Amino acid sequence: MIENIPLPETDDPVDAPFWEGTRRGELCIQTCLQCGRMRFPPRPMCPSCQSGASHWQRVSGRGRVWSFAAPSSPLLPAFEKMTPYVVALVELEELPSLRMIGAVLLTAGGEVSGVSAADVHIGAAVNVDFRQYTDDVVMPCWVLA
Ligand SMILES: [Zn+2]
């Protein structure tokens, strides 16, 4: 387990179902019960129709790299020891306006460290994978397809 990088809170009632999904190994997206629009990050109200009613829908986990960064110094010490690594903004297959950030892996279950900008390109196909940081925090990450 990696305990020295900043991690998200997972017990906020608005986004707790997202984290429950990642702990099951499922990528679940909040979806409006009134108009059907998916939204990420999770919010209490639909930005399209203002409904507060939503449910969580499992998605394919397939997407494409919309943008990416290969961070370099100066970094927080916990991140510096991970370099080289790549963080991508991925648009999900279900709805291109749904974009999610995550580390890029070369292989499923692989390491965050050891990925360089030369390994990634805009438009690259990716599949979701999950990386456990603590008992509560399982982060989605992206494996090059
Ligand atoms: Zn709506």
CA of 91 relative to ligand 1 center, distance in Å: 20
What contacts 24+ positions apart, CB below 8 Å, involve 66-75?
A: 66/90, 66/91, 66/99, 66/122, 67/122, 68/104, 68/117, 68/120, 68/122, 70/116, 70/117, 70/120
Full residue range of the structural domain in which residue 115 is found: 60-145
Which percentage of the chain shows pLDDT scores above 90? 86
* Claim to verify: residue 66 and residue 101 sit in the same structural domain: yes
One domain, residues 99 and 139: yes
Task: Check pLDDT > 60 for residue 1.
Answer: no
125 in the same domain as 86: yes
CA of 52 to the centre of ligand 1 (A): 8
Task: Pick the last residue of a domain from 58, 74, 89.
Answer: 58
pLDDT at 78: 82
**Cα 30 to ligand 1 centroid, rounded to whole Å:** 11
Q: Considering the domain boundaries, does residue 16 fall inside one? A: yes
Q: Write down the pLDDT at residue 3.
A: 46
Cα 121 to ligand 1 centre (Å) = 33
Q: 135 and 75 in one domain?
A: yes
The verdict on 69 and 117 lying in the same domain is yes
* Ligand 1 centroid from CA 93, angstroms: 20
pLDDT in tens, 7-22: 899 999 999 999 999 9
Q: How would residue 75 be classed by pLDDT, with cut points 50, 70 and 90? A: confident
Total tally of structural domains belonging to the chain: 2
Reported as a pLDDT band with limits 50, 70 and 90, residue 46 is very high
Average pLDDT value for the chain:
94
